Structure 1
Amino acid sequence: MTRTVAPTFAQSTWLVAHREITMRLRSKAFLISTGILLLAVLASIVIGSIASANASEPKVAVVGSATAVVKHAKGLDVRESDSVAAATRLVKNGTVDAAVVPADKSDSPLGISVIANDSAPEGVITQLSVAPTVTLLNPPTQNGLLVYFVALAFGLVFFMSAITFGSTISQSVVEEKQTRVVEILMSTIPVRTLLAGKVLGNSILAFTQIAVIALLAGIGLLVTGQSGLLGTLGPSIIWFVVFFAFGFVLLAALFAAASSLVSRQEDVASVTTPVTMLVMIPYFLVIFFNDNPLVLGIMSYVPFSAPVGMPMRIFLGTAQWWEPILSLVVLLLSTAFVIAIGSRIYSNSLLRMGGRVKLSDALASQR
């Protein structure tokens, strides 16, 4: 008589994870949303490249003695003209943005006047203006606009991926509970194995999606000739992928545990709202406080915001070499603790049908 050998914990976990991955990859909605996200990332890189390539210096026509003033100005495409009338014609037909012509010093201290079509050419005026020397005690290491867009990218990718796959876990848990499929599954595998498989499967999908986005962004920056920007962003992107891999496991365990408290899809939102808030808070904080060292410093050590806060500090150059390692250790310990608590809630709630299970009952030890 052949004796059937029960699958090990690892084998059972992988069976559940494989099932989760297969179901997601068969979903047209998942494939379409992933494709749209990748296209959006690629489009943003291409548009940024085109915008930077098309950013040209203001064109100005200069006449006579005005050349001596304009030649000291930086950031202007200067074209000499024979007369004021000729320079004016160049402005009218759009060949240049403005004309700089001589003027009486009683009318203009600089001895020049600017001719434009229908509005004052701010770019030209700024370059011609005389400004005092400014000394910054704490000069920024990165362009402010670039910092904002990097913060937006990190925050948005983290938010969308965490919410998308977190919602998938929640729906899967409640669907299996509502249809009582979970009773069949638990007759063959332990409940903790079921939780581990769900977390592992969706974490693999989420990590793969983030890794593909990072790889696509890197290739896009290289192809569009933005290798300098890639060199600046590279380390922070790598750390973002690493932190996200462990940070999502923490969130996935929370989504699964919270969803096990209810038995109907209509009640999922009520129990997962606190977890959703943990995902939304880093998104808003990194957008509004992307240049605030204190807020970013706190974010980089809080487990659910570290995947966004620490990569931003690495990009800004404000993090010491050991800080990402310390932050990652804090995240790993927090993830282990959350998995332990989430596993207890999941185990104690999964077979309780009907109304919502109280959190205190779910945390209580089984007898």
Structure 2
Amino acid sequence: MSRPVLASCTSAQLLGITGPKYRSVRDDQGLKHILLSNSLAAVPCHEHVPFISSDDLEMYKRLDQTNLNAMTCLNELIGHECGRLIQKDSAGNINFDMGNIPLSPFTGLAIKSGYAAGEIPKSVFGGMYNALNECLAESIALVLMKEEEVLEALGVIQAGVTAKEGTAPTDEDYLQGRFLLIHGTVLYNAYLQIIWLALNGLASCDPEKKVCNSNASVICRAASQKSVLQTWAEAHDRARFGILKTLLLAVPSPLKIRNHPDGEANLTTKLSNDLVYMAGHRAVSDLATHLHVYKCTADFECGRDYFESITTVDGLALTWRDAAMVRKKPRPLFVMGNTFLETGEVRYQTYPATREGLIQSWADRGV
């Protein structure tokens, strides 16, 4: 469902929320995802769009909010919430039938790892977990974007309706709802959006600053098996770069990234519509399968090696990062209002989208 949010006392701009947060309740009763419509609408998706080819730019700008809505729903509702962790409880009971042990889809043999009592994915995978989990959720969302029934359920396309071949919709067509998006166009632009976010997100990677993959706040497996990782300021950026690199490694690859020959720090992406639908989908499905199995079976060693291999920024990717740094813009300020109760009346206070307005909004919240 979609609802506007009146005010949100958070340090980040939330696009949606999923609840309830208690796993036992979610497992028994299910869960809901709420899109915060006015928060989502405020995301400046196409004010600054480097690296997208001129052939794709117009349609990309038309569909950015549509894709962001759909991907957010699938990411949160299914990407983060699917699967079952293989684990023991405090009494030593295992949550699967020992006479019918789950098989690894990679080896065909019985799984050999799982979560001990008290362990959770964060304690097993340490510092890489947030990025790994976001990469899994984004991959699952992309996989599901290929399913027409899913897009119909989200209201993105309508069953049994296709666009006229060779016709381009006008702004009025969009406003009046006369143009109904076709499935392939939505899927193509969903991939394009992830690629664009991944390239821009390279600015949050510091390839020279290395950290150990451990979580010092808990005693965890990752802490006892440290590996040196490049530093990322944002887990989502590393996650999306993992998808981008997976697409580049696919055979045949649906994606080409071209550095400008004049020496300018700029890039152009070219995505094959046909290959996205086939090779791209297979590659991202394989990525989702690997991360899902590693997470569910607490396979830290294989998960670490696999995830590091697709998220290390080296070679040509370092030049892409240079281009991202040159074209990096200051992050836009998102300022939420506050409500005040005065003599029995509710007053809503807005603030300008400036540094002063942002600080004042938090000062008035008194938290």
Same fold (TM over 0.5): no
Structure number with higher strand proportion: 2
| Greater radius of gyration (CA) | 1
**TM-score scaled to structure 1, two decimals?**
0.30
